[in-house]
Every structure is written in C-alpha cells, then in structure tokens.
Amino acid sequence: MEGLLDDEKVMSRIDKENMRGALHDLSEDMEALLEKLKESEIPLSYEAENVMFAGMGGSAIAGDIVQYWLQDNIELPIHVVRGFLLPRWVGKRSVVVAVSYSGNTRETLSAFEEARRRGAQLVAISSGGRLEELCISHDIPHIKVRSGMQPRAAIAHLFVSSLIPLRSLGLIGEREIEELRESVKVTQELREEIDAGIPLENNRAKRTAMRISGKTPYIYASGAMLPVARRWVTQLNENAKTLATYFEVPECNHNHVVALAHEKEKLTSIAPVFLRDEEDLFLRINMDYLEEIYGRNSIEIIEVRPQGKSRLARMFYALYFGDYVSYYLAILRGVDPTPVDTIAELKRRLSASANQ
C-alpha cells in the first residue's frame, strides 16, 4: 500500500480529473486574486449592521474562514447560513453575500431571493448560472470566478472574492492584505514539503493519510481552527469518500469524553487528529486531557501544528495540509477524488422540484 503514494502512474490512473493539479495551484491562484481584491470595489452602504454569507458545501467554507479570521478584529458581526432560510433579523441594514460556485445551488438561490425581498444589500459570487442571471436582471453586483472546477477546489477563488464586499465596507485593509500575502507564502512552502512528488518517507501528509487509512478520523479543534476542522471533514467525505467527524474543544470535554472513556473497544477504529494552535493554559489542559484518554488505550494522536505568524496563514496552512491528506487517502482507497455523484443527484432532484 505504501508504494501507491509514490507511484505517479497509479496516482494518474486513479485521479482521472486531476484533483492533484487543483491542489497544487492554490497558492498561485490566491496570489493572482490579490490584485483583483485590491482593484475591485462594490457600492455598499457604510451603515451596514451585519454581514451574512449564504452558501452550501465548498462554497460556504469561504464564509466560515472569513468569520473566524475577522470575528474579534472588526465590530461588524459576520454570520454564515447554510440552507434555504435566513434569520428573521436579516434586513435592509444587512449585507448578504450569496456564494454558489455553480450559480445554481437551490438553497443559495432561495436565500438570495429572500434577502432581495427583504431589501438587504446583496452581492453574489459564482462562476455563472442562475445566480449571475438574477444579478443581471436586478442590477445586483456579481463577482464572477473561474469556471470548470469543483467548488471545493475553488477555495482560493471563493475566499478572496468573498473579501471584495468587506473591503468595500472598509473592513479589509493593508494589515489583512499582508496576512493574505503571508498565507500565500506559507502554503507555497508547505507544498514543497507535501506535494505528490515528495516521497512518503519525507512527506508528512502522505504519512498522515497512511495512519488514517482504514479508520474513522475524529478531528479536534478550537477557535480559528474550527472552520478548518469542518474543511478536513468535508474534504475527507468528498475526496476520499470516507466518513469523518469533528469536535469542538473545550465543548466536547463536557460530553464527548464520557463516551471515549466508556467505549474503549471502539477506539481502535478511530484516528484522532488534533489541530493545535495558539492555546492558552485552559485550552492546553483540555487538549492534553483528550490526548491522555486516548493514550490510556494505546491510541496515538495525529498532531497538526499550523505554521505562520498571522491567524489567516495558520488557518490556510492547516487547511492545505488537510486537503493533501484527503487526496492521498483517496489514492490509498483507490477512488477518484473528483466525482461526487450522490451530491449531483440531489441537486438534480431539487432543480426538478423547483421547476414543477
């Protein structure tokens, strides 16, 4: 099995639609989009009281990252909604950013239309589709991203584009631009260590995939690493087609630890992954306690310590590492990381229902 991850021919045969290429290009995509961010501006009111990102799946993760990156640095609250409905408080003083890579996601279109009815200030991000058509019809700002990608592989495009309305509101300045630049640098340096051409013995992402293989990953995180933990789970679900779940620390130590202590025979089927970043004393005690419970049952944790000075750089470091792990796990499982036929089928059913 180990030889699979160092065999270029095997990887190419399994990865028929070249997810590896999309992974490789993240840093360059983000770097190129920085210029778009600095040059773009959308007419939005400075009287906005809140920002709501509406999206699903790979299109929603951009809003999650924005929220956790900026939440204690700006006064304007940022929220993310996944689904058809908007909270009742969304209204004329709200900026709603509808994000759908395809432009045809039924849940996002529903939230978009509801926000328009309530008079919210709207911005949409897509590669085209019905969302772009609605923006043209109603003279609503639309940010178009590159087409032809899987939404989860378009994270650089969706994330940086999501910052354009925030920059127009005066919430993104030179400090944030510098953090974006550092994120580019950190992910480029990480890629040199974990890209597919780096052999297993020197490649931490490949070795992590080996340790996860055949087990159910439990991802533990706190603070800014929470959206990254969600990203790990969704990437493992979609790329590697395997079950995974994540837990928030310290919350899980008020419930989850009881089950861990009493289901000892099941722990051998779990691969615990700890995303550890900037922990204060109490958080460190919580993480160490979880590790101790696993250690009592001879389960070794997988620890990821993000690199970077800024919060955003560390978030993208851990995210990028997880993306590569999910890719290598897909290769080990012999599944093409790109297709997600079950999601496509659900979207067809929702679309057919809407047209009845």
17 is annotated as an active-site residue = no
Q: How many CA atoms lie within 13 A of 318 on its CB side?
A: 31
Asked if 49 and 91 count as a contact pair (C-beta separation under 8 A), the reply is: no
Of 36, 79, 241, 347, the catalytic one is 347
The CB-based long-range contact list for 247-253 (8 Å cut-off, 24+ gap) reads: 247/218, 247/219, 247/220, 247/221, 248/221, 248/222, 249/220, 249/221, 249/222, 249/283, 249/286, 249/287, 249/290, 250/222, 250/282, 250/283, 250/286, 252/220, 252/290, 253/286, 253/289, 253/290
Cα distance between residue 69 and residue 247, in whole Å: 19
138 is annotated as an active-site residue = no
176 is annotated as an active-site residue = no
Of 75, 254, 262, 265, the catalytic one is 254
Of 176, 182, 238, 291, the catalytic one is 238
Bridge partners, 216 (sequence order) = 270
* Residues involved in catalysis: 238, 254, 347
